[in-house]
């Protein structure tokens, strides 16, 4: 029971309670509510945004068949971390009927003239393969969690700053009161 009273001392009637104590109590309460609600909303909005972007990506991109213009040679170092695909020139037909050439990532040691699948956007430029539904869900979940944590951290930082300002103001008020008490009696305590 004593611990509960100690935690809620700013809310009780007390002759030692100051306005800054009440303000600090409200700031902390509002901060907790804003951190929880704001974090939840930021997480949901971000997750929805990531899923919509993945949906747009799947709609805007399509796969086409391309022909290797040169042999796909493995030029990378054997210790390098990669998905073991190499960049090589490919040729494909764009939606407007023009023949395009650019570098795409293909399996190593694929001879020239073989067909490979590449992804293009509406203008016919090479793009990466769109994310799958599972990848989009994972990205949305991670993005939502990070946004929620970021929003909560921002609110917590603002609460810390407000409490710090209230604390400094309270110290100044105490110093002024001590000064007034000391000078009234004609002696200094320190």
Band of residue 32 on the pLDDT scale cut at 50, 70, 90? very high
Please answer whether residues 30 and 158 qualify as being in contact, where contact means their C-beta atoms are separated by less than 8 angstroms. Answer: no
Least confident window among 56-60, 137-141, 148-152, 181-185:
181-185
Please tell me whether residues 71 and 161 are part of one structural domain.
no
Please answer whether residues 71 and 65 qualify as being in contact, where contact means their C-beta atoms are separated by less than 8 angstroms. Answer: no
Please tell me whether residues 107 and 159 are part of one structural domain.
no
Please tell me whether residues 77 and 119 are part of one structural domain.
yes
DSSP annotation of 69 reads S
Measured between alpha carbons, how far is 156 from 33 in angstroms, rounded to an integer?
Answer: 11
CA nearest to 122, candidates 49, 35, 60, 65:
60
Least confident window among 17-21, 40-44, 66-70, 132-136:
17-21
| Burial class, 73, CB count within 10 angstroms (exposed 0-12 / middle 13-18 / buried 19+) | exposed
Please tell me whether residues 44 and 82 are part of one structural domain.
no
HSE value, Cβ hemisphere, 13 Å, CA-based, for 89: 7
88: containing domain: 62-129
Within a domain: residue 13? no
Please tell me whether residues 115 and 163 are part of one structural domain.
no
Please answer whether residues 107 and 72 qualify as being in contact, where contact means their C-beta atoms are separated by less than 8 angstroms. Answer: yes
Residue 127's φ and ψ, nearest 5 degrees, are -140, 170
Please tell me whether residues 78 and 121 are part of one structural domain.
yes
Give the per-residue pLDDT at 123: 86
Domain count for the chain, please give it.
2
pTM summary value = 0.69
DSSP annotation of 186 reads T
Within a domain: residue 90? yes
**Average pLDDT value for residue range 155-173:** 93
Q: Is 65 strand, coil or helix?
A: strand
Q: What does each C-alpha distance from 169 to 60, 132, 164 come to in angstroms? A: 57, 55, 9
Please tell me whether residues 54 and 70 are part of one structural domain.
no
Please tell me whether residues 116 and 146 are part of one structural domain.
no
Please tell me whether residues 145 and 177 are part of one structural domain.
yes
Please tell me whether residues 123 and 138 are part of one structural domain.
no
Please tell me whether residues 102 and 53 are part of one structural domain.
no
């Amino acid at each position: 029971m004593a611990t509960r009273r100690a935690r809620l001392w700013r809310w009780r009637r007390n002759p030692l309670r100051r306005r800054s104590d009440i303000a600090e109590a409200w700031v902390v309460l509002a901060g907790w509510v804003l951190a929880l609600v704001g974090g939840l909303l930021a997480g949901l909005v971000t997750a929805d945004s990531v899923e919509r972007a993945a949906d747009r990506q799947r709609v805007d991109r399509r796969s086409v068949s391309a022909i290797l213009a040169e042999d796909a040679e493995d030029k990378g170092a054997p210790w390098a971390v990669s998905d073991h695909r190499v960049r090589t020139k490919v040729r494909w037909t764009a939606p407007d009927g023009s023949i395009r050439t650019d570098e795409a990532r293909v399996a190593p040691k694929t001879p020239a003239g073989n067909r490979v699948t590449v992804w293009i956007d509406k203008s016919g430029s090479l793009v990466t393969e769109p994310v799958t539904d599972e990848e989009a869900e994972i990205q949305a979940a991670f993005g939502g969690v990070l946004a929620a944590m970021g929003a909560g951290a921002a609110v917590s930082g603002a609460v810390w700053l407000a409490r710090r300002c209230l604390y400094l103001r309270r110290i100044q008020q105490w110093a002024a009161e001590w000064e007034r008490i000391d000078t009234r009696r004609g002696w200094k305590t320190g």
